[in-house]
A and B are shown apart, each in its own frame.
Chain A
Amino acid sequence: MTDTQPHATTAPLLDVTNLATWFPTGRGEIKAVDGVSFSLAPGEVLGLVGESGSGKSITGFSIIGLIDEPGRIVEGSVKLEGRELIGLPAHELRAIRGKTISMVFQDPMMTLNPVLSIGTQIRLALEAHESITAAQARERAIKALAQVRISDPERKVDFFPHQFSGGMRQRVAIAIALLHRPKLIICDEPTTALDVSIQAEILAEMKELVAELGTALIWISHDLAIVSSIADRVAVMKTGRIVEIGPALGVLTRPQHDYTRALLDALPSRAKPGQLLLRASGIADAAPPPRKAATANLPPLGSPYLVIDEAVKRFEKPAGIMRRLAIKSGIAQPVTSVQAVDGVSLVLKRGEVLGLVGESGSGKSTLGRMAAGITVPSAGTVRLNGQPVMSAGRSPTKITTRVQTIFQDPFASLNGRMRIGDIVAEGPLAHRLVTRSEARGYVADWLAAVGLDPAFANRFPHQFSGGQRQRIAIARALAMQPDVVVCDEPVASLDVSIQAQIINLLIRLRSELDLSLIFISHDLSVVRHLCDRVAIMYRGRIVEEGEAGALYADPQHDYTKRLLAAVPVLPMAAE
């Protein structure tokens, strides 16, 4: 980061001045990008940071000339090595795309074509800019894969995207972006969809490649810590404008603009664990939530409450009649099964917050679903206060209302055709916690408790933002008067400032209602902030479990160590 000075003197690679991209809608123009200016030196890495809707991705697409209709660039200029890109005819722009400027997208699952082999997709990208024989293309493809550290590229070149893991797919996408040795790569949240350890690998490799090839990068991200680990300079965007731009270290340790400061303050990694996070826009904290008279026989705080004993979950494909006959007679192999959770015992004490951390596929969500009585364990028991959570028999059902769940995606977990009031009241009415005449007031109390206007009860989910929807989901779960709430990545799809609001809400509600929480997350800093105890899951087993502070300070298991080492850390101002 000390090499920012020399760049300032060389001619800029990219010069963006007063760029404005608007999207016409029924109710006038949305100014997605509204007067953005910055320049980029050859080989420089610029981090473009902002929350969703800030226009950071649209800025990237405007530079490369891929704005979806009916959006259009209203004014401004984008100069690449002195040549104006805006207004270039389509074929000239196309000749630049992939050759001089290329792009890597967020979700490698969505960007690669699932029905074409990796080799074919690389060949198409090669043919876009040079004439090349099939044999040459294959050779180049193998080299490109080797460059992004894909092992055994001679064989992998014939693979299809689904045969790769998420990290591998993103490597392939990066390989395609690097094919023609571009001078600039625009990376739009390239590691957001990946696990922490994969993200760390990709970051490290990207840094190396960029340094080696002298490629400039625009790294678009919502995650300040990631940006700080790769960028020379950082630009912070808000509602279509750059509010602050400067050397990474300076912006992140001594922010000048209020918004940058607010973004940084909202990060759990910068606050003391358990404390409320600072928020920029103050949504008034709500009235204390109404608590129905709890059942009398609750154990005291701190005693074992939800006990998971040797829980196992196997997923297998159901075998047809012929297949079962064939397996019985030894002709066919038994159906392969996936052991998602492999004999896990876990105790949640009353009133504590237990963090369940692991990468995708570690079985943490499956374990959470078993704890919440949604998924039936293949073996083992889940008991709440000594009582089983699910009924016995062939097709067990959940028999308690005292465990509730908050899901990751508030867009998918709320029924879009029901009014908010009905969504929240549905469960309590079905279980006779309230009468129909009380329901209105009950819902209003809960909406207020999660910081929403009670008048929202008549609206539909699509009228709300992601953070508001997650509040509704929390109100719905808590309206069932649970003692235990399983939170399955409740903040993973939210912006930092919204995430801070939800975390604060959970901290507050937990202490006011004596809730016990199982908090499932892949985000170690959020878990550290919120949880008393942490269990690390890896391949269906819990590899390490302990007090949050102790576990973070002195991890014992190799996997935990690797996980903690992979977390990108923000630079702190020396005080």
Chain B
Amino acid sequence: MFGFIVQRLWQAAIVVFAMSALVFTGVYAVGNPIDVLISPDATQDIRAAVIAQYGLDQPLWRQYFAFVGRVFEGDFGRSLVYNMPVSELILSRLPATLELTLAAVIFASLVGIPIGMYAGYKPYSPVSRAIMAISILGFSVPTFWFGLMLIMVFAVQFGIMPAGGRGETVSLFGIEFSFLTIDGLQHLVLPALNLALFKFSLMIRLARAGTRELMLSDTVKFARAAGLSEFTVLSRHVLRLISIPLVTVFGLELGSTLAFAVVTETIFSWPGLGKLIIDSITSLDRPVMVAYLMLVALLFIVINLVVDLTYALLDPRLRKGRA
């Protein structure tokens, strides 16, 4: 197991390194931030001075290695727009996104999996058919539209939910969280629901497909023949057996939601990473873009590692080094 983790970390290092090179080159190709930074009527001298100040007159490879050198010292550079260290900027936004996506993905799993298992357990009942219809809808409805509908109905029509923002936050271990206050929770519900919709539908379909297949398996027949109740069969046997694909998708979805919750964050003015990256792309804030994309790569690697370790936890056949 230890060797496995070392191997994975080694792979992770290579991926992060490759990612940094790719992102750096890609961002370099997008455009010159100087055009955004300085007013068009600045003199040529000022232009040259600013360019030299940010090291933009150097060839690409030299800029890249200078960047890598600074990263090893923990310095991702300063945001051109906010004029603060990028690491600080990202860390200040990360908790909001983390909170929102975790709420969404956990809700989607906790509700979606049991519902999906029910639909797989009784595939022909009207309730199951309704569940499947809803899940199809969940796949096909665009996120932005569903978000706007949520705001229209719950915030505008009934006025029971706030339309945007993060609400009151409480500081825990020096990080601001909103799920600990009533107001914060109220602000969290709609964006989390909006973000959860797609994942919710996905979990339903996965859980249903797995359950349907397993209900016909000899394992379930044998468990029933031993007199186990249907609930025990589902909760102890089936859930464990379908959990591996579910965990895989959970991990992938968690990663992509963390990285790309842009639409929901924009609609609900949620001050998370998604809004930050959109803003920095429009203003060509290079250091933020590079650092953000590297963070995303790292997130995916960590999540995948955790998923792989969870496999070993869930399936004894994957545990090595046991008699």
Contact = CB atoms under 8 A, between A and B. Distances in A.
B178 to A, nearest CB: 38
Which one of A90, A102, A111, A120 has the highest number of Cβ atoms from chain B below 10 Å of its Cβ?
A111
A94 B317 contact: no
Contacts of A163: 322-323
Given A64-B225, A160-B317, A162-B316, A112 B219 contact: yes
Contacts of B241: 113-115
Interface residues of A, number: 42
Interface in A176-230: 176-177, 179-180
A97 B224 contact: yes
A455 interface: no
Contacts of A103: 222, 225
A98 B226 contact: yes
Interface stretch (A124-132, A418-426, A434-442, A489-497): A124-132
A156 to B, nearest CB: 11
Nearest to A122: B226
Contacts of A96: 227
Given A116-B237, A160-B317, A322-B10, A128 B221 contact: no
Contacts of A95: 227
A114 B315 contact: yes
Nearest to B232: A124
A114 B317 contact: yes
Contact of B240 (A102, A116, A162, A320): A116
A173 B7 CA distance: 39
B223 A105 contact: no
Nearest to A117: B316
A160 B225 contact: no
B227 A110 contact: no
A90 B10 CA distance: 55
B309 interface: no
Contacts of B322: 163
Contact of B219 (A97, A113, A117, A322): A113
Interface in B281-315: 314-315
Contacts of B240: 113, 115-116
A424 to B, nearest CB: 34
Interface in B212-235: 216-219, 221-230, 232
Nearest to B222: A111
A177 B226 contact: yes
Contacts of B229: 94, 128
Contacts of B314: 115
A116 B315 contact: no
A95 B224 CA distance: 11
B7 A97 contact: no
B226 A112 contact: no
B227 A97 contact: yes
Nearest to A65: B224
A32 to B, nearest CB: 16
Contacts of B315: 114-115
Nearest to B236: A124
Contact of B225 (A98, A110, A320): A98
A310 interface: no
A11 interface: no
Given A160-B317, A322-B7, A113 B225 contact: no
A71 to B, nearest CB: 12
A107 interface: yes
B67 to A, nearest CB: 29
A125 B228 contact: yes
B156 to A, nearest CB: 47
A111 B232 contact: no
Interface in B153-202: none
Contacts of A97: 224-227
Contacts of A575: none
Given A97-B227, A98-B227, A322-B10, A128 B232 contact: yes
Given A107-B218, A163-B323, A128 B237 contact: no
Interface in B261-288: none
A111 B219 contact: yes
Contacts of A332: 3
Contacts of B221: 66, 105, 111
Interface string A312-328: 00000000101100000
Interface string B50-69: 00000000000000000000
Contact of B218 (A99, A110, A160): A110
Interface string A67-109: 0110000000000000000000010001111110011011100
Contacts of B219: 110-113
A322 B156 CA distance: 60
Contacts of A180: 227
Nearest to B233: A124
Contacts of A125: 223, 226-228
Interface string A115-147: 111001000110111000000000000000000
A128 B217 CA distance: 20
A116 B226 contact: no
Contact of B223 (A117, A124, A177): A124
Nearest to A326: B3
A127 B224 CA distance: 13
Contacts of B316: 114-115, 117, 160, 162
Interface in A35-77: 64, 66, 68-69
Interface string A157-177: 000101100000000010011
Contacts of B223: 113, 124-125
Interface of A: 64, 66, 68-69, 90, 94-99, 102-103, 105-107, 110-117, 120, 124-125, 127-129, 160, 162-163, 173, 176-177, 179-180, 320, 322-323, 332
23 contacts: A66-B224, A90-B230, A94-B228, A95-B227, A97-B226, A98-B228, A103-B225, A105-B218, A105-B221, A111-B219, A113-B237, A114-B241, A114-B315, A114-B317, A124-B226, A124-B228, A127-B232, A160-B317, A162-B317, A173-B222, A177-B225, A320-B7, A322-B7
- In order of increasing CB-CB distance, the 7 nearest A-B pairs are A98-B227, A103-B225, A111-B222, A98-B226, A110-B218, A160-B316, A125-B226
Given A98-B227, A103-B225, 9 more contacts: A97-B227, A105-B222, A106-B218, A110-B218, A111-B222, A113-B237, A120-B236, A124-B232, A162-B316
